[in-house]
Amino acid sequence: MVGMILVRDVMSKDVKVVQPNSSVREVAAKMNKFNIGSIVVVQGEKPVGVISERDILRRVVEPCLSPEALTARQVMTSPVVTINETASIEEAAKLMAKKKVRKIPVMNEQKLVGIVTFTDIVNKVLTTISILEALAKP
């Protein structure tokens, strides 16, 4: 469809990942280093989970568990919801709403190629609306 905005047009390509056996302390350090709110857990190149700041708060901080003693596998949200890079941002938004997630790893065949967030989609839609409003003015 002409003019359809695809996930690959708005996704971030520089996806930060950790292994399932990484300690939660390592996960938090990497999230802090790159100033990101979530990270993808991969086995090889396949996403097997996602860890958000909320996951760490709920599963580590609140129960007062040691971040050195827990692994990414133990706190990640799994199974992970993924989407193909050729899906439309409308499909991505609907999937986010249905699954109640705000970030989705993006795949090309079996390979992780990016991550798309609710914010990425909203920003693209707002930019498109602004352009259309400017074109509509006499």
DSSP string, 54-112: HHHIIIIITTT--TTT-BHHHHSB-SPP-EETTSBHHHHHHHHHHHT-SEEEEEETTEE
pLDDT-derived band at 60, boundaries 50, 70, 90: very high
Please report, to the nearest 10 degrees, the dihedral formed by the alpha carbons of residues 14, 66, 75, 118 taken in order.
Answer: -50
Question: 42 by DSSP, 3-state: which?
Answer: strand
Per the prediction, the chain carries an average pLDDT of 92
Domains of the chain, start order = 7-136 (3.10.580.10)
Between 18 and 134, name the one with better pLDDT. Answer: 18
Give the rounded percent of residues in the chain with a pLDDT score beyond 70: 98
pLDDT-derived band at 131, boundaries 50, 70, 90: confident
pTM confidence score: 0.85
Q: Which helix (H) or strand (E) holds 15?
A: none
Instruction: Report the side by side order of strands in the sheet with 38-43.
Output: 17-18, 38-43, 46-52
- The pLDDT tens digits of the residues spanning 66-81 come to 999 999 999 999 999 9
Half-sphere exposure in the Cβ direction for 31 (13 Å, CA): 21
Q: Are 8 and 56 in contact (CB under 8 A)?
A: no
Looking at residue 92, its amino acid is: A
Q: Could you count the other beta carbons within 10 Å of the beta carbon of residue 82?
A: 16
pLDDT-derived band at 6, boundaries 50, 70, 90: very high
